[in-house]
């Protein structure tokens, strides 16, 4: 089945370490891609999004993501994480066949140790 | 105003009860979503309304009945639920069919079925 997948289930880093979380999708054609963050007890918030243009997208809180079409990937990066980045991170995709559809990957739990 | 408001925040109901979850937004978004999120899992799409018409129904059991009475409101009517239906129910809104437009999420209703 067509889907979006996140291979890292739980990532543990120390403060100031660099972060890269993987996201792959299996839809052909043009897709809309997003990264959302869910802090403990809070609602889902958008970090960044991509549809077209520059494949390197900058978001809030120092996050960025790179769209690599040939790899069907949209990995999230941050050069130096902080304790406050501890949260659940979800990749989401709007597939080409239905612009109202929005699917989430399994999520990656990030724990940043002070 | 970029808020999606969900009420109630918490709900405990018996398996024979009938209850409703409510969602409201005033961003002029004409696509509204219900997701179900179990602990440590991603949001799972349940229903999508576009211009007040049901656009996507992910084969959700009939004990969940969505309703979109107008462009600002979305309800989820619950009847004869099972304990395994206990979860966080998330509402989201978005510009329907919009390219590169994200979904805005509410805080969710934490539902416990006893």
Mean pLDDT of A62-91: 97
pLDDT in tens, B26-42: 999 999 999 999 988 89
Residue B57 has what pLDDT?
94
B98 or B7: which leads in pLDDT:
B7
Work out the pLDDT band at B7, boundaries 50, 70, 90. Answer: very high
Residues of A in contact with B3 (CB under 8 A): none
Beta carbons of A43 and B106 less than 8 Å apart: yes
Cα–Cα distance measured from residue A93 to residue A48, given in angstroms and rounded to the nearest whole number: 12
pLDDT tops 90 at residue A96: no
Beta carbons of B100 and A32 less than 8 Å apart: yes
Q: Beta strands of chain A (E only): which ranges?
A: 4-5, 10-14, 19-21, 24-25, 32-38, 45-50, 56-58, 64-68, 73-78, 87-94, 103-104, 108-113
Q: Does B41 touch chain A (CB under 8 A)?
A: yes
Give the SS3 label for residue B27.
coil
Q: Of A5, A45, A96, A36, which is closest to residue B99 (Cα–Cα)?
A: A96
Residue B100 has what pLDDT?
78
Q: Which residue has the tokens 């390219």?
A: B99
Residue A98 has what pLDDT?
84
Q: Does B17 touch chain A (CB under 8 A)?
A: no
pLDDT tops 60 at residue B79: yes
Work out the pLDDT band at B1, boundaries 50, 70, 90. Answer: low
CA of B44, closest CA in chain A: separation in Å?
7
A103 or B97: which leads in pLDDT:
A103
Q: Calculate the alpha carbon distances from B71 to A42, B3, B18, B93, B103 in Å.
A: 25, 15, 24, 10, 15
Beta carbons of A105 and B55 less than 8 Å apart: no
Mean pLDDT of A50-74: 95
Mean pLDDT of B69-86: 96
Closest residue in B to A46 (Cα) is B102
Q: Which residue has the tokens 């399994």?
A: A106
pLDDT tops 70 at residue A29: yes
Compute the Cα dihedral for A60, A62, A67, A71 and give only its sign. negative
CA of B1, closest CA in chain A: separation in Å?
15
Q: How far from chain centre, in Å, is Cα B100?
A: 22
Mutate to test the interface with A, among B102, B109, B110 (most CBs of A within 10 A): B102
Residue A38 has what pLDDT?
94
Work out the pLDDT band at A95, boundaries 50, 70, 90. Answer: confident
Work out the pLDDT band at A27, boundaries 50, 70, 90. Answer: confident
Residue A1 has what pLDDT?
57
Cα–Cα distance measured from residue B51 to residue A99, given in angstroms and rounded to the nearest whole number: 13
Give the SS3 label for residue A30.
coil
Mean pLDDT of A65-73: 95
């Amino acid at each position: 089945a067509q889907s979006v997948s996140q291979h890292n289930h739980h990532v543990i880093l120390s403060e100031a370490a660099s972060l890269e979380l993987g996201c792959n999708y299996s839809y052909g054609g043009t897709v809309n891609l997003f990264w959302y963050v869910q802090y403990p007890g809070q609602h889902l918030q958008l970090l960044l999004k991509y549809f077209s243009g520059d494949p390197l997208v900058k978001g809030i809180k120092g996050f960025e993501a790179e769209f690599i079409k040939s790899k069907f990937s949209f990995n999230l990066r941050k050069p130096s994480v902080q304790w406050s980045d501890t949260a659940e991170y979800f990749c989401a995709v709007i597939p080409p066949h239905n612009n109202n559809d929005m699917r989430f990957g399994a999520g990656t739990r990030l724990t940043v140790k002070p | 105003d970029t808020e999606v408001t969900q009420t109630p925040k918490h709900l405990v109901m018996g398996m024979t009860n009938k209850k409703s979850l409510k969602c409201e937004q005033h961003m002029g978004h004409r696509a509204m979503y219900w997701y179900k999120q179990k602990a440590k899992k991603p949001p799972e799409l349940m229903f999508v309304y576009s211009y007040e018409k049901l656009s996507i129904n992910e084969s959700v059991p009939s004990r969940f009945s969505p309703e979109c009475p107008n462009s600002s409101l979305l309800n989820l009517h619950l009847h004869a639920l099972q304990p395994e239906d206990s979860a966080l129910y998330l509402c989201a809104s978005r510009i329907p069919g919009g390219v590169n437009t994200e979904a805005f999420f509410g805080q969710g209703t934490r539902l416990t079925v006893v």
